[in-house]
């Protein structure tokens, strides 16, 4: 047993314990806090499995966006409530037996799959010169599997439209967090916000060579926007609704547009000519980063429930 394995076991143990606590903690808010820790631990797992791109995205989303969204929701939906009712359709022993069966089946199936032995990594490597980026994950996202990623940006757009459609009448992000944040918090934000914007730019630029890219950059920007929203100065309130909608769509539209340009240059959709691939990918990534940032921050900023403002200050 090497130290590496001991570390991996401890890490997996921590992730599993955190997951179990998050769902089963007697007090809702405790579960929510542990869930935030779960996200951070998962990003450690991605680091261990050699996926820093995922780790950056998970860290930015888990620490910056999910945390704020679930805490805000828990405040509304009874954060101190101790009762944690469960469905009792089946007797206890039967549900435990079913749980154990499910666990054994999953573990059994997963363990019979051996580590991937396909030659995909080599094939990705072989084609890299024609894609114009050195980061393999970026190459897969934007070039080899352009359709997937394009539609994913579409899913984000749909989620944003859904949240906007469910918005309470008269609700505006500017009205949601009205408090007098201590000067310390404002001061810290004034230092962190430029740092975050710089970090997003760095991740976007870095994405063609190393870990980073449009989603990571967008998530960091969105987290910064969430911080500002919490402090009562939401960036989303500064642009008109029309401009906001344009920013939501720009990633999806720009992705398609660049793909179509590739078609006119004689390729298939998203088959960029090698000479132009690098700048084309950067153009797509920049637009996608903007849309991801606006979408994720909007999911938080516009996510309040009807009548929030009249609920009174008692949590």
Residues 246-265 that bind another protein (CB under 8 A): none
Q: Report, in Å, the least distance between residue 247 CB and another protein.
A: 15
Contact 129, 140 (CB under 8 A): no
Q: Which is nearer to another protein, 265 or 306 (CB)?
A: 306
Instruction: Pick out residues in 115-154 that bind another protein (CB under 8 A).
Output: 115-116, 118, 120-122, 124-125, 136-137, 139-141, 144-145, 148-149, 152
Applying CB under 8 A, does 208 fall inside the site for another protein? no
Q: Which is nearer to another protein, 7 or 275 (CB)?
A: 7
Applying CB under 8 A, does 268 fall inside the site for another protein? no
Q: Which is nearer to another protein, 49 or 275 (CB)?
A: 49
Applying CB under 8 A, does 160 fall inside the site for another protein? yes
Burial class (CB in 10 A: 0-12, 13-18, 19+), 272: buried
Contact 23, 31 (CB under 8 A): yes
Segment (H or E) for 198: helix 183-206
Q: Coil, strand or helix: which one is 173?
A: helix
d(CA 169, CA 131): 47
Q: Which is nearer to another protein, 222 or 282 (CB)?
A: 222
Applying CB under 8 A, does 94 fall inside the site for another protein? no
Other CB atoms within 10 A of residue 176 CB: 20
Q: Report, in Å, the least distance between residue 131 CB and another protein.
A: 12
Out of 133, 204, 221, 226, the residue judged to bind another protein by CB under 8 A? 226
Contact 250, 291 (CB under 8 A): yes
Applying CB under 8 A, does 43 fall inside the site for another protein? yes
Q: Which is nearer to another protein, 265 or 269 (CB)?
A: 269
Q: Which is nearer to another protein, 137 or 258 (CB)?
A: 137
266: left (phi over 0), alpha (psi -120 to 50) or beta: left
Segment (H or E) for 259: helix 241-264
């Amino acid at each position: 047993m090497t130290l590496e394995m001991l570390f991996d076991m401890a890490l997996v143990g921590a992730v599993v314990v955190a997951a179990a606590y998050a769902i089963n903690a007697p007090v809702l808010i405790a579960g929510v806090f542990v869930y935030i820790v779960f996200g951070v631990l998962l990003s450690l797992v991605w680091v261990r499995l050699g996926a820093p791109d995922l780790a950056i995205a998970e860290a930015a989303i888990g620490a910056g966006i999910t945390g704020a969204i679930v805490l805000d929701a828990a405040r509304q939906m009874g954060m101190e409530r101790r009762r944690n009712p469960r469905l009792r359709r089946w007797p206890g022993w039967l549900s435990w037996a079913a749980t154990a069966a499910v666990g054994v089946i999953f573990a059994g199936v997963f363990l019979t799959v051996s580590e991937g032995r396909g030659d995909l990594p080599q094939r990705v490597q072989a084609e890299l010169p024609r894609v114009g980026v050195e980061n393999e994950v970026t190459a897969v996202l934007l070039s080899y599997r352009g359709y997937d990623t394009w539609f994913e940006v579409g899913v984000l757009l749909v989620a944003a439209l859904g949240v906007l459609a469910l918005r309470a009448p008269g609700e505006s992000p500017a009205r949601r967090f009205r408090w007098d944040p201590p000067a310390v918090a404002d001061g810290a934000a004034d230092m962190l916000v430029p740092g975050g914007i710089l970090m997003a730019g760095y991740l976007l630029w870095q994405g063609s060579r190393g870990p980073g890219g449009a989603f990571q950059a967008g998530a960091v920007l969105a987290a910064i926007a969430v911080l500002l929203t919490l402090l009562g100065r939401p960036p989303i309130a500064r642009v008109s609704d029309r401009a906001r909608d344009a920013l939501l769509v720009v990633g999806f539209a720009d992705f398609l547009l660049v793909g179509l340009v590739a078609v006119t240059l004689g390729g298939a959709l998203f088959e960029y000519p090698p000479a132009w691939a690098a700048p084309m990918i950067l153009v797509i990534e920049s637009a996608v980063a903007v849309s991801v940032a606006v979408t994720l921050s909007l999911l938080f900023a516009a996510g309040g429930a009807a009548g929030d403002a009249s609920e009174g200050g008692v949590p």
